[in-house]
Amino acid sequence: MALGLTITRWAGAILAILIAVMSYRFLFLPLEPAYPAMLGHIAERPTLLMAHIIAASIALGFGVFQFSTRLRARRPAIHRAMGRVYVAAVLVAALSGIGIGWAAPGGIAAQSGFVLLALLWLGTTGMAVWHIKARRISAHRRWMVRSFTLTFAAVTLRLQLPFFEIFAQMQYDPASNWVAWTCWVPNLMVAEWWLRRR
């Protein structure tokens, strides 16, 4: 059981870092070929899109390290500094995500799914900040688990899209009506199950 949990954590961390790094492909490619599914956002709201991509990738990359017990114990100042960067990145990514979510091309299901994800992302991160300021460490850690679970939706979305495209023969727009929910609802359910077990 412990070995399986360790492997799962390492796999999740590696995937998170890979997705975070790959999201910066706009540094080497024009926006259209870099994000072909985002052409509407590129044309109509490029600033919101870039703010979301840059900030969400930072949150994903920094968030991985916030669960390192070794880092917390040996370098608490670094843990706190990275936590502040994570919170700031979530704030920018979630607010820009709301703007992008309202205009998601898939339809009302996609729009409501992405907007609710962004709102819950803000809420769980805000609760984590509130508890740490009150020095409620255990509660802070529980809310950080929920927050990063929603951050990890960036990974699960990208893992799910190929299945919709290959097996369901869906383009991004209709598939987004599904992944707007499946990229984060199961994550949050697993997180709650894990927290209750502990």
Q: Is the pLDDT of residue 5 over 80?
A: no
Tell me the per-residue pLDDT of 122-136, one tens digit each, with 9 for 90 and over.
999 999 999 999 999
Mean pLDDT, rounded, for 58-78: 89
Q: How far is CA 41 from CA 78, 122, 140, 178, in A?
A: 36, 22, 35, 19
Counting runs of H as helices and runs of E as strands, what totals does the chain give? 11, 0
Q: Per-residue confidence at 6, pLDDT binned at 50, 70, 90?
A: low
The pLDDT assigned to 73 comes to 86
Mean pLDDT of the chain: 89
DSSP letter at 171 equals -
Q: C-alpha 131: how far from its chain's center?
A: 21
Tell me the per-residue pLDDT of 153-198, one tens digit each, with 9 for 90 and over.
999 999 998 888 888 788 888 899 999 999 999 999 999 999 998 7
Q: Per-residue confidence at 7, pLDDT binned at 50, 70, 90?
A: low
The pLDDT assigned to 8 comes to 64
The pLDDT assigned to 123 comes to 97
> What are the tokens at 79?
């843990």
Mean pLDDT, rounded, for 70-83: 90
Mean pLDDT, rounded, for 127-154: 96
Highest mean pLDDT among 4-8, 28-32, 187-191: 187-191
Residue boundaries of the structural domains of the chain: 40-197
